[in-house]
Amino acid sequence: MNKKSSRRLLAVIILALIFTVQIVAQEKVDLQIVQRIRKEGLENSKVMDYLSYLSDVCGPRLSESPQYRKAGEWVVGKLKELGLANAQMEPWGTFGRGWEMQKIYAAMTAPQYMPLIAYPKAWTPGTNGIVKGNPVLIEVTKAADFDKYKGKLKGAIVLTQAEKPLEISFEPMAERLSEDGLKKLVIAPEPGARPPFGPTMQEMMARQQLQAAINKFLKDEGAAVLLEPSRGKYGTVFVQGGGSQMKGATEPPPSVVVSVEQYNRIVRILKLKVPVEIEVEVQARFLDDDPQGTNVIAEIPGVDKKLKGEVVMLGGHFDTWHAGTGATDDGAGCAVAMEAVRILKALGVRPRRTIRVAMWDAEEQGLIGSREYVKNHFFDRVKKEKKPEYDRLSAYFNFDNGSGKIRGVHAQGNLAAAPILEEWLKPFHDLGAQTVTLRNTGGTDHLSFDGVGLPGFQFIQDELEYDTLTHHSNMDVYDHISKGDLIQAATIMASFVYNAAMRDAKLPRKYFDPNAPPRGMF
């Protein structure tokens, strides 16, 4: 590098430092209010009360199921009790058919009786009463394999995969982010670095095409019910969707996921030529009467004459899968949002901007509820149409990675916002939250905002047992929640929302080209 280039680089660095110092110097944090927020949040928390009712009493909240609607009505009522305004289940558009699991029974009855830990895939039909019979194991890796099973599967209980080997794991089931891990998170990835190797797009498409062909073959052959092993172990069943949400679509046979240890036992017995008998009953119903999707929305109105039309938002997703009770995914985020606004109402704060809490529908189906909300209120990416509220949103803060405590914030590449977020975290360094990274993170509803140039942030959270045990499984229940972590998280959320509602200017935005084609789901 020559001297001229060095001087230019030095000038750029100096200007950047001056800009950052100016932002930090201008950022005012009312530490007296933050102290009050800490005291109320850490000493009088109600976050576990909200989560217990939401997960234990309301139970799983599959999009547009009766349980989703009843739980939404309960939350609306609770937010009204707290004194929030405009509490409602706000329609966002057409979703498709609702679906409800009413009963699942599965057992091996010979050579010995063994009750099976099993759950049907969402949006698959029920069986016609109890299906009994000798299971048929099929092993299909290519279309030519279908010939071996033609005419042999009518009314059969079909095992769709071979034995799934399990390995002893010496890794901990739960973990927290280490200091080294947090430091690495702050450092940008090496330019041009490739992500870890995985299946190519072509391989993924080939798998999907083969699976679609298998499902069609089994449907055409008249299979009565399909059984497949869970990807988890220790009796944990990870199960999501398997049927179609669209009315009039071709329905696959009833599909049930079984704990892998029990599934493997059945396969091994079959390979020993010992007769096996199984019986399965699935009762499920589709709901075609009301396809309307709804998000749960409520507000603490702003009081500043100039700023009350502006909005600060917080939330998580309200919908869940059906095997557990949606405690960690994402009842935790909804309870944190409810507790955050409770803290602010308990302190009697009068925010300058309106604070709007949102609990999203159909996140599990592709962030649909938040995407449609953003399209209706802020920006339509397809039409490239900016809505009046677009210029009035300050920020959206999201909590959706289990019940682990907040360790920091993903700034999503927003260079101007990062030093502000760092200042807001300083009063919580003693609680383990001190990291701001410019890196993006995916998979949560903040992307619906970030994808249209709005400041949308997901907190950095400790992993705990989220990916190893609870995420989309029958173990997503209240007992796997970390109480202290959620108390800390709700307190920080309340402080962040308050700071955003009170500062003179909205949070800065990063560059957004409205004419650029949407990437991925955005």
For 80: left if phi > 0, alpha if psi spans -120 to 50, otherwise beta; the answer is alpha
Taking only the tens place, the pLDDT of each residue in 494-508 is 999 999 999 999 999
> CA 102, CA 345: separation in Å to the nearest integer?
39
Apex CA 521: angle with CA 289 and CA 361, to 5°?
35
**366-373: average pLDDT:** 97
**Is 459 in contact with 384 (CB distance < 8 Å)?**
no
pLDDT of 518 higher than 80? no
CA distances in angstroms from 335 to 331, 405, 407, 518, listed in the order given: 6, 13, 18, 32
Peptide bond into 330 cis (omega under 30): yes
pLDDT in the model for residue 90: 98
Taking only the tens place, the pLDDT of each residue in 143-157 is 889 999 999 999 999
Q: How confident is the model at residue 16 (pLDDT cuts 50, 70, 90)?
A: very low
**372-377: average pLDDT:** 98
pLDDT of 347 higher than 80? yes
Question: Cα Rg for the chain, rounded, in angstroms?
Answer: 25
Taking only the tens place, the pLDDT of each residue in 86-104 is 999 999 998 888 999 999 9
Taking only the tens place, the pLDDT of each residue in 287-328 is 877 678 999 999 999 999 999 999 999 999 999 999 999 999
Apex CA 278: angle with CA 273 and CA 284, to 5°?
150
Across the chain, mean pLDDT equals 92
* Confidence (pTM): 0.93
pLDDT of 54 higher than 90? yes
pLDDT of 65 higher than 70? yes
Report which of residues 480 and 215 the model is more confident about.
480
pLDDT in the model for residue 519: 63
> CA 2, CA 10: separation in Å to the nearest integer?
12
pLDDT in the model for residue 427: 98
Q: How confident is the model at residue 208 (pLDDT cuts 50, 70, 90)?
A: confident
pLDDT in the model for residue 196: 65
> CA 308, CA 91: separation in Å to the nearest integer?
24
pLDDT of 21 higher than 70? no
pLDDT in the model for residue 290: 66
pLDDT in the model for residue 70: 97
For 61, residues 6+ apart whose C-beta sits below 8 A from its C-beta are: 67, 68, 71, 72, 318, 319, 320, 326
**389-400: average pLDDT:** 98
How far, rounded to the nearest angstrom, does the alpha carbon of residue 375 sit from its chain's CA centroid?
A: 19
Residue 249 per-residue DSSP state:
P
**111-122: average pLDDT:** 98
- For the four alpha carbons of 329, 330, 333 and 338, in that order, the dihedral sign comes to negative
Got the DSSP string for 490-513? HHHHHHHHHHHHHSSSPPP-----
Q: How confident is the model at residue 12 (pLDDT cuts 50, 70, 90)?
A: very low
Helix/strand/coil (H/E/C) assignment for every residue in 484-495? HHHHHHHHHHHH
How far, rounded to the nearest angstrom, does the alpha carbon of residue 220 sit from its chain's CA centroid?
A: 35
> CA 343, CA 395: separation in Å to the nearest integer?
19
Q: What is the residue extent of each domain of the chain?
A: 23-95+291-502, 99-188+197-287
Look up the CATH number of domain 99-188+197-287.
Answer: 3.50.30.30
CA-closest candidate to residue 459, choices 185, 61, 79: 185
**404-418: average pLDDT:** 98
Taking only the tens place, the pLDDT of each residue in 231-250 is 999 999 999 999 888 877 87
pLDDT in the model for residue 249: 80
- Residue 344 corresponds to which tokens in the numbers above? 């602010």
Q: Give the residues across from 238 on adjacent strands.
A: 473
Query: Residue 56 CB: number of other CB atoms within 10 A?
Result: 14
Q: How confident is the model at residue 85 (pLDDT cuts 50, 70, 90)?
A: very high
Lowest mean pLDDT among 177-191, 270-284, 359-373, 443-457: 177-191
pLDDT in the model for residue 269: 98
Do the domains 99-188+197-287 and 23-95+291-502 match in fold? no
CATH of 23-95+291-502, one of 3.40.630.10, 3.40.250.10, 3.40.50.300, 3.40.50.11690: 3.40.630.10
For 447, residues 6+ apart whose C-beta sits below 8 A from its C-beta are: 367, 456, 521, 522
Report which of residues 296 and 19 the model is more confident about.
296
**212-218: average pLDDT:** 89
pLDDT of 365 higher than 60? yes
CA distances in angstroms from 180 to 162, 262, 301, 339, 466, listed in the order given: 41, 40, 41, 31, 20
